[in-house]
Chains A and B, each alone.
Chain A
Amino acid sequence: MVQEGQATASRVVLETRDVGKQYQLDGVEVNALRDVSIAIRAGEMVSIMGPSGSGKSTLMHIVGLLDRPTCGEVILEGDDISNLSPNQLAELRNKYIGFVFQSFNLLSRTSAQANVELPLVYAGVSGVDRSHRAIEALERVGLGNRLGHFSSQLSGGQQQRVAIARALVNSPSIVLADEPTGNLDSRSGIEVMAILQDLNAQGITVVLVTHDDRVARHAQRVIRVFDGRVQSQEAVENRVIAAQELRDLPAEEVAG
């Protein structure tokens, strides 16, 4: 079961201190982020929310170690990583971050299992161990019977679950989900949220990036970003429990 407030006392997995990001766009300097200080604790489920253009994506790239800040510090598991090279960041992503993207981003013409194995390939895990762990991860998202299916043979919801399995397979510190329901019908979306909440209940740290208030309220805590700054950080009241929504759905589905 999901328990609110369980994470408050746990250690900090990732922290940003006065992080800023500037870049040039058509010769004009854009301040995408300014003085952003947030902390993500182990076992937490937190949403980063904001409208498009708010700097939410830039913050996600920094939290996901895909990008480096122009100023400020990023602390991952106690180490400052703001000045590492792209290759060093790649290794850290491989070890600490699992990505779930809006558009799934699975390799085409590649089986579900091979897709899930991908992070393990770059981690240098040997063949047998790799397939064992990939199968385990796929079973965890309820796709144990779809191992050999190509992405194109799977529904959107199933593809997103493969992506979640891929994000999980390396036992990362953070699963970073960027608009995970954006390309899904409502039922598949709720299923995906239910899986994320379930994984969080099992102790996995989940960061949700979304513009949708309802999606954001699946988390325990919401960080609102606006105009490149953190506007507010607050605990969610009336948290949406996807499993509950799912239980309410069948009648609706029969009718529609």
Chain B
Amino acid sequence: MNFAESFRIALRALAANKARSVLTMLGVVIGVAAVILLVGIGTGVQDEITGQVEGLGSNLLFVVPGQYGGGMGGDQGPPSRRFTLEDSELLARRVPGIDAVVPVIQAGSTIKRGNRSVRVVVAAGSEQASEVFGGTLAGGRGYRKSEVQAGARVVAIGSTVRDVLFQGQDPVGKTVTLEGQRFTVVGHYESLGGGLAGDQDSQVYIPVTTAQRVFNLNYVNTIVIKATDADRIEVVKADIRRVLTPRYGEEFTVFTQEQTLGLLSDLLGTLTYMLAGIAGISLLVGGIGIMNIMLVSVSERTREIGIRKAVGARTYDILSQFVIEAVGLSVLGGIIGISLGWGGAELMARFTPVPTNVTPWAVATAFFFAAGVGVFFGVYPAWKASQLDPIVALRYE
């Protein structure tokens, strides 16, 4: 007997027990849909975040104090020596081929106006900060070089901060209170949405000199350098090392955008695999459902197996008939599951803020995994059926 015949027999058997077939399939449908949807969410989030990092420009370098290995880091204590504004100026003078050097301080604080207040992240930099922070001004201006030199109490605010504190009024020229000091709002930004470094709309931007005074610091957290072009990144990196090594030895690290991206991708990739794993468990449960039903089906159809064997069915014929039934259930369930998962992911992307991205790779994997589940869980019941003794099977009531 050929494969087409086995296939036809299996389909007929599935059609004969429609309700049971559909319920069995449901397990696989849910499993596959969950895999597609969750992996879609994982991939979507990964794409969006790496996209944001890339959006900052691939020609950025981040210089941080302390030594970080290739791994995730975290085993170091606080770095013994931090960078100062002088280091930033030194780099600006001695490293060629760069557009901007921005000393950055980041700190959490609360900003107030009247009786309203909002938690913010204070991002402090030099007048060149707009080169590295991104964001589009909705009104007003950023702080100027003179204001940085003077340590002026001026602030540019993110859209959330503006909406909470000013509620539709134009904030430019108004005053707010930060760390007990009065600041003049010089500009405000358009909404960027949720982002990599938390919510960028809840950030406020002040001159780095002002930040040192208000937070009582004599150092900066990071020095961000923008190379004139992405191809020069490695050269610039070497130059930075050359300039800083005499002062700090090995106690600093230069991250390129690429490294940061790699790190993030690893992390988010792991997250995606975790989601896939959780969804995979439900697919496994669906597979066990198939096995259960196939076992019931085999014992219910013992007599049929006996008849088939009596008229000439070989072990292989019975085996393939039942395996094809199981695989048919799982493949059909897989196709429906992929459609549902994909549809769900599309709806989610459209109607919720969660980004999703269903890749052909995920679809193919889910499909073959589902088919594999059918084979794996179908073989044992089918093997059991194929080993029945025709004499015993024919007598079975």
Contacts and interface: CB of A to CB of B under 8 A. Distances in A.
Interface in A46-104: 61, 64, 66-67, 86-87, 90-91, 93-95, 99, 101
Contacts of A108: 304
B391 A119 contact: no
Nearest to A118: B311
The majority secondary structure among interface residues of chain B is helix
B317 A122 contact: yes
Contacts, number: 57
Range class of the A interface residue count: 20 to 34
Contacts of B80: none
Given A66-B390, A67-B391, A124-B2, A91 B310 contact: no
B82 interface: no
A61 B2 CA distance: 28
A154 interface: no
Contact of A122 (B16, B304, B313): B313
Contact of B310 (A95, A99, A110, A121): A99
Contacts of B16: 109
Contacts of A41: none
A166 B210 CA distance: 98
A64 B311 CA distance: 10
Interface string B288-323: 000000000000000110111111111111000000
A246 interface: no
Which residue, A90, A106, A107, A124, has most C-beta atoms of chain B within 10 A? A90
B306 A122 contact: no
A87 B310 contact: no
Nearest to B397: A103
Given A90-B309, A122-B1, A124-B2, A61 B314 contact: no
Which residue, B303, B390, B394, has most C-beta atoms of chain A within 10 A? B390
B314 A91 contact: yes
B5 interface: yes
A224 B182 CA distance: 119
Nearest to B303: A105
6 contacts: A67-B391, A87-B314, A90-B312, A90-B314, A121-B9, A122-B314
Interface of B: 1-2, 5, 9, 12, 16, 303-304, 306-317, 390-391, 394
Interface of A: 61, 64, 66-67, 86-87, 90-91, 93-95, 99, 101, 105-110, 118-119, 121-124, 166, 170
